[in-house]
């Protein structure tokens, strides 16, 4: 059944409106990407410094107090000993970072698929693992499949602040201290450039030799054998530094994931706009051909009528 000229024209108008929307969304996502990249560059310097300090402390044997009773002056803060203590792993936790909305291409599906594959590689099943979800897409996915979601956080800002993430870290570390899980992995999409990102999984807790030096691509191996003389005591020192290190891991992951999300959104909206433009061009060609055919038919009818009169 042939489509009428009016139907084609309506499709052209509708596609043009869609094209305007996707173009506007692409511009918004690009603006957010530019904004968050400015924060990311400055934060990476801080994160590398914190990791370097903790790595130095580890090499100088100050981290061996994990069996002691290190404490912190802030009663709401988890102790350094809790962050360092290695215990038998009965349940593993996965902090999965996704977006709260769609229109981001394959961003969310890639994170979830790669996280599930990583769980299988670790030999974990739904019975001995738990999900901590940052982002509504991941939380809804695992809930709908009967996976235990022990914690979820929705509504992460387009450019997350450190104070915003600090509340997430406090909750997660408290759950670890209460032995609701025995180890924690952070799973998210790492921003490579505006066109690509790749999945990254980082062990966050407990903090040990297997964690240090694996969380940053730019961290050089620390060559240090001498011990530190510290003032105040090593317990107080680690009580201040290790929570900052845990915060830096989570904040850096969320900042990185948000950057990848904005890039994916911008790329997806650009693809949608390009497809809409191609469809408009195709429909306009179809419309012009239909008009030409109608005009040719009318001319033929007029010519035939004149010939009949003669």
pLDDT of residue 221: 46
Beta partners for residue 132, in sequence order: 95, 151
Residue 290 is encoded by which pair of tokens?
């239909």
Question: Which residues, including other chains, have CB under 8 Å from residue 242's CB and lie 6 or more apart?
Answer: 54, 80, 83, 84, 207
pLDDT of residue 27: 92
Q: How far apart are the first and last CA of the chain?
A: 37
pLDDT of residue 239: 72
pLDDT of residue 220: 44
H/E stretch holding 185 reads strand 183-191
In terms of Cα–Cα distance, which of 214, 199, 202, 184 is closest to 260?
199
Domain boundaries, the chain: 26-268
CA dist., res. 212 & res. 13, Å (int): 57
CA dist., res. 272 & res. 22, Å (int): 7
pLDDT of residue 60: 63
Q: Which fold has domain 26-268?
A: Pyruvate Kinase; Chain: A, domain 1 (3.40.1380)
pTM, two decimal places? 0.79
pLDDT of residue 97: 94
pLDDT < 70: residue spans in the chain:
1-3, 58-81, 208-235, 310
pLDDT of residue 236: 72
Q: What is the pLDDT of residues 182-229, one digit of tens each?
A: 889 999 998 888 888 889 998 888 876 655 555 554 444 444 444 566
């Amino acid at each position: 059944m042939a489509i009428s000229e009016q139907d084609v024209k309506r499709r052209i108008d509708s596609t043009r409106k869609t094209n305007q929307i996707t173009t506007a969304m692409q511009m918004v996502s690009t603006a957010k990407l530019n904004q968050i990249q400015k924060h990311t560059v400055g934060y990476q310097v801080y994160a590398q410094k914190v990791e370097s300090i903790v790595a130095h402390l580890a090499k100088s044997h100050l981290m061996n107090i994990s069996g002691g009773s290190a404490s912190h002056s802030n009663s709401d803060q988890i102790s350094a000993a809790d962050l360092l203590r290695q215990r038998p792993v009965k349940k593993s936790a996965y902090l999965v970072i996704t977006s709260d909305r769609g229109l981001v291409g394959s961003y969310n599906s890639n994170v979830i698929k790669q996280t599930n594959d990583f769980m299988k590689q670790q030999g974990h099943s739904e019975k001995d693992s738990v999900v901590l979800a940052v982002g509504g897409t991941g939380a809804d996915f695992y809930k709908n499949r009967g996976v235990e979601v022990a914690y979820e956080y929705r509504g992460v800002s387009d450019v997350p602040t450190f104070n915003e993430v600090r509340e997430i870290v406090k909750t997660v570390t408290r759950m670890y201290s209460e032995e609701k899980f025995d180890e924690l992995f952070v799973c998210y999409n790492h921003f490579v450039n505006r066109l690509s990102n790749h999945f990254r999984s980082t062990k966050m807790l407990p903090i040990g030799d297997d964690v240090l030096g694996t969380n940053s691509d730019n961290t050089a191996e620390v060559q240090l054998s001498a011990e530190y003389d510290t003032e105040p005591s090593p317990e107080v020192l680690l009580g201040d530094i290790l929570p900052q290190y845990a915060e830096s891991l989570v904040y850096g992951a969320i900042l990185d994931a948000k950057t990848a999300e904005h890039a994916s959104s911008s790329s997806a909206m650009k693809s949608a706009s390009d497809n809409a433009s191609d469809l408009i061009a195709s429909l306009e060609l179809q419309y012009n051909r239909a008009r030409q055919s109608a005009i040719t038919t009318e001319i033929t009818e007029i010519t035939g009528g004149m010939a009949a009169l003669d």
